[in-house]
Amino acid sequence: MDIKPGPLLQKIDSPADLKKLNREELQQATNELRQYIIDVVSVYGGHFGAGLGVVELTVALHYIFNTPYDQLVWDVGHQAYGHKILTGRRDNFATNRKYGGLSGFPKRSESPYDTFGVGHSSTSISAALGMAMAAKYKGEKDKKVVAVIGDGALTAGLAFEGMNHAGVADTDLLIILNDNCMSIDPNVGALKEYLTDITTSQTYNKFKDDIWKALGKLPVGKHFSREVASKIEHSIKSFVNKSSNLFEALNLRYFGPIDGHNLTKLVDTLNDLKNIPGPKLLHVITMKGKGFAQAEKDQTKWHAPGLFDKITGEIYKKQYELPQPPKYQDVFGQTIIELAEKNKLIFGVTPAMPSGSSMKWMMEKLPDRAFDVGICEQHAVTLSAGMATQGMRVFCNIYSSFMQRAYDQVIHDVAIQNLPVVFCLDRAGLVGEDGPTHHGAYDIAYMRCIPNLVVSAPMNESELRNLMYTSQLESTSQPFVIRYPRGEGVMPEWRTEMKEIKIGTGRKIKDGEDLAILTLGHPGNFAAAAIRELRTEGINPAHFDMRFAKPLDEGLLHEVFAKFKRIITVEDGTVVGGFGSAVLEFMSQHDYHAEVKILGIPDSIVEHGTLKELQQECGFDAGSIAKTARDMLTDKVRVSTLHQ
C-alpha cells in the first residue's frame, strides 16, 4: 500500500529542510508527521504510543540543533519513529521492523543521525556524556549533545550513575526528561511520586517562570554575572519547592516542567538552553499516544498494538475456527497464581514488565505478593535473593535480553549463596521484529557456566507448568532457571496436571535408528515436524527432549552416544557455549566419537524479521533440521532414492 505523507512532510528529506520552515509551517509539518506515523503503523505495525508522544519534541530538537553534528541520543528508541522520518528515511519507513528493512530502534549503521544504538533503556545519559566529554577533549566547543530519556527509564541505576557523573564533568550536556508517567506499563516507585510533586506544584512553577523571565531581562556584565543569576535561581527553587533539589543536588540545572506538546514553547526553550553552559535537565511533560484518542486512553495496550483501523481504532485480530495455543507468558501468568494459591511462600517480581510477562494477573489477584519494581533488573534479582534468605520462593520474571543487565547479581547474590530463586526468562531465543537488542540469544551460555544453577527449557506448555511446579518444591534447594520463547506454544488444551520433573532428566520422544536429534526447549517442536517429513523419505531419526542444559541427563546421553554415530543438537540460543557445546563437552569427557551438528543462533548479530524468517536464516527451523539430517545421511538418502 502506498501511503503518502502530507505536502510539507514530502519535502523534508533532512533537518536542513525543516529549518527552512516558518513557525506556522513548522506546526503543520508536525501535524503531518504525527498523521504519517499513524497511517504507516496502522497498516504495517510497530511501536505506536511512544512515538506519537514526542512528535513536537522531535521536530523542535531537529529544528534548533545542528544534527547530526550536534549529537542527539534517544533512550530505548521506541519513540524515534518521527526522528527516522525526518532524517532521510521517510520513503523507507514502511519497511520499519521488516526483514531486511529499517530497524525499529536507532542504529548507528543505518544513519549518521542515529548516534547511538539503543534498545534497552537508561543508556542515553551515559552515552551522551561520553560524547560530550570527547567533544570537549577534541576542542569542539560548538558541539551540543542531547540525551532524551523517559521517566520510566530514569528509574534504572545506570541513569543515576550517568547523572551523578554528568554533574561534575563540566560539559554542555542537555538531558531532556520526557515525563509521561509510562514506560510500557504505568511507572511505579518513589521517583514517580517525586516527579508528580514537581509537575503539580503550581506555586513553584509559576513563581519559577516569573523569576526566570525577570532574570532574562537583566543585563549580563560587570555588575550582574550569569553566575549570580544562577545562584538566585537556585535559591528560589530551594525556597519554594524542596523537591527540586534532587537534580540540583546532582549539579544539574533544572528547567521546567514545560508542556511537551506546545511546539512554540519547546522551540523557544531549547533555543535558550542551547546557549546556557554546563550540565542541565529540561523536564518535559508529554502524553503517550498523543493525537490518537484510543492510544491516549489505554497507553499500555497501544504501546505496540499490531495492525489497526486508524479511523475506528479497532485492532485487527486473527480469526480462528479452532482453539489456539496460548502464549507462553500467559501460561506462566496463570500457573504462578495456581501455585501461589497453594504455596503461601511464593512471590512474584518483575522489572517493569507486568503486562509483557503476564505477572499483572498475580499483581491484581495477590497484590501483596507480586511486585513491579520498575526498570531495575539488578534490584529485582537482589530483592528476590533477600526474600529467599527468609524462606520465600520468588519467581523473578525477566526478559532474557534484560537479564544480561543483572548478571553480577545472579552470580554474587544468588548463585554463590545458593539461594532458591526461580528465574523465569521470558522472550528466550529469537524475538522477531525487535531485533538484536532484544533477542534472548545468550542466556543458555551465560547461565550454564555459573555453579549451583539449574538451567531448563520446556518443549511445550505442559512442560513449563511442570518445571514451575518442580522449581518451587521444598526439595528444590538451588537457583532454578526456566527459559521460554516469545509467542504461542503448541497446546490449545494446556491446563494439564502439574507433575514433578526430576532435575537433570530428559525424555525420549521417538525411537529411531539412523541418527539422534537432541533438542532443548520449544525447538523440539521443529524437530518433531522435521522427523515426520524425514520418515516419509525412509529416514528414521530418534528424538530426545533434553529439558535441561544443566545438569545434563548423562544417563540419556550415554545411551545416545552408545547407539548413534550421527547426532544433531537443536536450540534457540547461541551455538557458542550453549546446549550443543555442553553435549560436545560430554562427548569429549567420556571419549565418545560421533559426528555432531549444532543448530542454533550463529556467532553473529541476527537482525530483525519475523520469527519464521529468522529461524530459517539461522538454520534451526523444521526445514533446516530435515536438510541437516539428509546431508548427514547422504548414502542412505541416495540408496532410498534408487529403490524408489
pLDDT, tens digit, 9 for 90 and up, residues 538-591 = 999 999 999 999 999 999 999 999 999 999 999 999 999 999 999 999 999 999
pLDDT band at 243 (very low <50, low <70, confident <90, very high): very low
Residue after which a domain boundary falls, among 448, 483, 518: 483
The verdict on residue 220 lying in a domain is no
State phi, psi for 393 to the nearest 5 degrees: -110, 105
Residues 518 and 617 in one domain: yes
Residues 623 and 478 in one domain: no
Question: Is 60 exceeded by the pLDDT of residue 214?
Answer: no
What's 438's domain CATH number? 3.40.50.970
Catalytic residue chosen out of the listed positions 288, 465, 547, 636: 288
The verdict on residue 419 lying in a domain is yes
Cell of 494: 494446556
Residues 177 and 280 in one domain: yes
pLDDT band at 213 (very low <50, low <70, confident <90, very high): low
Residues 6+ apart with CB under 8 A from 128: 71, 73, 116, 145, 146, 147, 162, 173, 175
Residues 475 and 614 in one domain: no
First-to-final CA distance of the chain: 48
Whether cis (ω within 30° of 0) applies to the bond prior to 68 is yes
Side chain identity, residue 5: P
What is the pLDDT averaged over residues 64-90?
A: 95
Tell me what pLDDT residue 382 has: 97
Distance CA 101, CA 103 (A): 7
The verdict on residue 228 lying in a domain is no
Q: What is the pLDDT of residues 96-141, one digit of tens each?
A: 999 999 999 999 999 999 999 998 999 999 999 999 999 999 999 9
Residues 522 and 414 in one domain: no
Catalytic residue chosen out of the listed positions 97, 192, 237, 405: 405
The verdict on residue 382 lying in a domain is yes
Residues 544 and 479 in one domain: no
The verdict on residue 312 lying in a domain is no
The pTM is what?
A: 0.88
pLDDT band at 643 (very low <50, low <70, confident <90, very high): very low
Residue after which a domain boundary falls, among 257, 275, 297: 297
pLDDT band at 531 (very low <50, low <70, confident <90, very high): very high
Q: What is the pLDDT of residues 151-179, one digit of tens each?
A: 889 989 999 999 999 999 989 999 999 99
Higher-pLDDT residue of 612 and 304 is 612
Residues 134 and 268 in one domain: yes
Residues 470 and 513 in one domain: no
pLDDT band at 188 (very low <50, low <70, confident <90, very high): low
Distance CA 495, CA 334 (A): 9
DSSP H/E element including 27: helix 23-44
pLDDT band at 239 (very low <50, low <70, confident <90, very high): very low
Q: What is the pLDDT of residues 293-350, one digit of tens each?
A: 898 888 888 888 889 889 898 998 877 778 899 999 999 999 999 999 999 999 999 9
Report the DSSP beta bridge partners of residue 182: 186
Residues 472 and 511 in one domain: no
Residues 175 and 78 in one domain: yes
pLDDT band at 217 (very low <50, low <70, confident <90, very high): low
Query: How many domains does the chain fold into?
Result: 3
Residues 191 and 136 in one domain: yes
Residues 174 and 85 in one domain: yes
321 is catalytic: no
The verdict on residue 119 lying in a domain is yes
Phi-psi bin for 540: left (phi > 0), alpha (psi -120 to 50), beta? Answer: beta
pLDDT band at 642 (very low <50, low <70, confident <90, very high): very low
Catalytic residue chosen out of the listed positions 377, 433, 461, 571: 377
Distance CA 598, CA 566 (A): 11
Helices (H), 46-142: 49-53, 55-64, 81-84, 124-137
CA torsion, ordered 84, 90, 94, 96, to nearest 10 deg: -20
Distance CA 37, CA 293 (A): 14
Share of the chain above pLDDT 70, in %: 89
Distance CA 111, CA 306 (A): 26
161 is catalytic: no
463 is catalytic: no
Residues 6+ apart with CB under 8 A from 538: 636, 640, 643
Residue after which a domain boundary falls, among 483, 498, 526: 483
The verdict on residue 494 lying in a domain is no
What's 534's domain CATH number? 3.40.50.920
Identify the domain containing residue 23 by its residue range: 9-201+241-297
The verdict on residue 304 lying in a domain is no
